[in-house]
Amino acid sequence: MSDVPFTPGLVDSTAAPARGAWLAWISTVDHKRIGIMYLLTTMVFFCIGGIEALLIRIQLARPGNTFLSPDAYNQVFTMHGTTMVFLVVVPLLLGLANYLTPLMIGARDMALPRLNAFSYWVFLLGGILLYFSFVSGHAPSAGWFSYAPLSEKGYSTRNGLDYWALALLGIGVGTIATAINLIVTVINLRTEGLTIRRLPLFVWMVLVNSFLIIAALPALNASLVMLLVDRQLHAHFFTQMGGGSPILWQHFFWSFGHPEVYIMVLPAFGIISEVIPVFSRKPIFGYSFVAASTVAIALLSLGVWAHHMFAVGLGPAWNYAFGASSLLIAVPTGVKVFN
Amino acid sequence: MHLSVFSPASPEAARLLWLWDACMYVCGFILAVVTLSMLYILVRYRRRGGNDAEPDQTTGNRKLEIAWTAVPLGLVGLLFGLSVVTARGVDHPIRRAPDIVVNAHQWWWEVRYPGEVVTANEIHIPVQQHTLIEIDAADVIHDFWVPQLTRKIDAVPGRKNFVWMSPEHTGVFSGACAEYCGAQHAWMRFRVVVDPPQTYQAWLGTQSATAAAPAGGDAAAGRQLFTNLTCANCHNIRGINSQRQYAPDLTHVAGRQMLAAERLENTPRNLRQWLKEPNVIKPGCYMPNLKLSGSDLTQLTAFLETLR
């Protein structure tokens, strides 16, 4: 972060400027600064994720390539997927939400500034833990979805997976804290006259998105803890020996993982719904329909997870039900595009 | 022989391709309509040099909103109907015992036929018959996929899944593991050999036989090595041992077309190389490098080549 210019105007009251720019940034609880730190951190991880993507493509450039060993390749694609989802796209949008939401609703800061700083630092800790796995000898290599029992101790004996679970746990806690913070901010700190029906669409998306995070992320956090208990304390949540179920991990993971797709795309939809009206110099065509379609997408997204599991053999009834709910999401998404 | 969904060889695979095509046409049409209208709007209503007036501040239209909710709903309903019809055509009801049991291992396929026949990575089925295959897994989750013949189906430890294959013509069809399962996932391949009924029955007859002991020479010495070294701890050869199945059954290994889950063509030379350094040919695989001497390799290869 050495390239961040120190701007005296941004110093908040809690940090003493005399102690230097670094300390001011590290101890800040200012939403703009935290937003900027989120954005810069995601840029760093984006570069790392991009390098990993390049390594993958070099390996795949021709059949039978020996650029990476199978084991190294598996580590690289696992780290690439995990990095892009948890350390780039989600925190990038959280950073934007952090920076813009208080400005767009006329608030002086987020409702819970210290919690906001905590969210960022626990997210950074998660990112560092994930990459520390390389230093410890072996990065996780069970895919970003880490299907059990491949992710269990019997099949992933080295400790990369433990770093993976701990890192995601940290990031998950930070993300949930930010979501709570954003909800409280949008509900309580709107300026006078800014009713919920007049909220900018980006703020609408951030609000709905935060509820979605609160609904989805705890499922991941719980299953990460269960995986850790399996790996470290020899439990059997996700192994068929001892009465567990590998399918359970898939249900848990995707009941987080599919809402996660919308957690990543809803703020982006919000940005589009703000930018296009500005440059076409007219208000969005159907404000209430766009806002309502967001709510519809969020609700539907909680009921589509098993479309990642059509090949598991859940039986036709489940496959049809999840097929139908997944197709239905196209309708509110279409409403957004048309408007 | 290739891993492709675009040249179906069974009614099941043909239905799946049909659904794929249908979705592509419907979605392609939608993409074209949306893209062309966007382009039209961009060009027609762009800000022109002379005219800098604000555009009409039109906003909101309830009828239009209802229309562009209802039309996609109809399209989605259509696609859902097609999906259900296709799924019903691929997953026929299961009212009898499976013809073949496939057990997926890291990183090979154990194939069991009724009776004693056990083979690996090569599934023989008769042409123009409905074959019901049971799929399960010994360790982690795998996925059984023969794109020219049928759908993907997961191999889940502790769970039985079923899949139908009804090949319309004879031939050799490529299959692969389609669920990431560890170091050698990419080389967890197999093949389905579709034969005329007589050929299939003849093959099954050959496979039922136990391995005969070679008369003498290198092959007989190799047979001794198989039990004296650690080979027999993991591999079975009917007539010699029958422990739990940790590694591919070798009773008729020389009769197979490929070695090491499609990694190598099954020639004496490749077999020898595989015995010599499996960890180089497939890094991470569970076949250990026993650091066999040249004469051990010759004798073992000679023995295994008798197992036809």
pLDDT of res. A331: 87
A2 band by pLDDT with thresholds 50, 70 and 90:
very low
pLDDT tens digit sequence for A114-136 = 999 999 999 999 999 999 999 98
pLDDT of res. A17: 53
What's the mean pLDDT in A32-55? Answer: 96
* For chain B, domain boundaries: 217-305
pLDDT of res. A339: 80
CATH classification of B217-305 is 2.60.40.420, yes or no? yes
pLDDT of res. A1: 42
In this predicted structure, the answer to whether residue B8 has a pLDDT above a threshold of 70 is yes
In this predicted structure, the answer to whether residue A19 has a pLDDT above a threshold of 80 is no
Our CA-based measurement puts residue B207 at a distance from the nearest CA of chain A, in whole angstroms, of: 31
Contact B121, B262 (CB under 8 A): yes
pLDDT of res. A326: 87
What's the mean pLDDT in B248-263? Answer: 91
Q: Do A70 and B283 touch (CB under 8 A)?
A: yes
pLDDT of res. A14: 53
B90 to chain A: closest CA residue: A316
pLDDT tens digit sequence for A147-173 = 989 999 889 888 899 999 999 999 999
B27 to chain A: closest CA residue: A330
| Chain A residues touching residue B55 (CB < 8 angstroms) | 280-282
Residues 105 through 164 of chain B touching chain A, CB cutoff 8 Å = 106, 139-141, 143, 151-154, 156-159, 161-162
Interface list for chain A against chain B, based on CB atoms closer than 8 Å: 69-71, 74, 142-143, 147, 149-150, 154-155, 240, 245-247, 280-287, 289, 311-313, 316, 319-320, 323-324, 327-328, 330-331, 334-335, 337-339
| Chain A contact probe: residue of B59, B91, B152 with most A CBs at under 10 A | B59
A8 band by pLDDT with thresholds 50, 70 and 90:
very low
Give percent above pLDDT 90 in chain A. 57
The pTM is what? Answer: 0.88
Round to whole Å and give the CA distance between A249 and A89. 23
pLDDT tens digit sequence for A204-254 = 999 999 999 999 999 999 999 999 999 999 899 998 888 889 999 999 999
Would you call B151 exposed, middle or buried from its count of C-beta atoms within 10 A (0-12, 13-18, 19+)?
A: buried
The residue among A15 and A261 whose pLDDT is bigger is A261
Round to whole Å and give the CA distance between A281 and A130. 45
pLDDT tens digit sequence for B97-127 = 999 999 999 999 999 998 889 999 999 999 9
| Chain A residues touching residue B133 (CB < 8 angstroms) | none
Contact A117, A34 (CB under 8 A): yes
Secondary element (H or E) of residue B177: strand B171-177
Round to whole Å and give the CA distance between A36 and B52. 36
Give percent above pLDDT 70 in chain A. 94
Q: Do B65 and A150 touch (CB under 8 A)?
A: no
In this predicted structure, the answer to whether residue A10 has a pLDDT above a threshold of 70 is no
CA B237 to chain centre: 25
| Chain A contact probe: residue of B75, B141, B187 with most A CBs at under 10 A | B141
pLDDT of res. A12: 52
Residue B80 tokens, joined:
């859902």
B47 band by pLDDT with thresholds 50, 70 and 90:
confident
CATH: 3.30.70.100, 1.20.210.10, 3.40.640.10, 2.40.50.140. Which one for A17-338?
1.20.210.10
What's the mean pLDDT in A6-18? Answer: 51
pLDDT tens digit sequence for B134-186 = 999 999 999 999 999 999 999 999 889 999 999 999 999 999 999 999 999 99
Q: Do B158 and A246 touch (CB under 8 A)?
A: yes
Contact B179, B156 (CB under 8 A): no
B61 interface with A at CB cutoff 8 Å:
yes
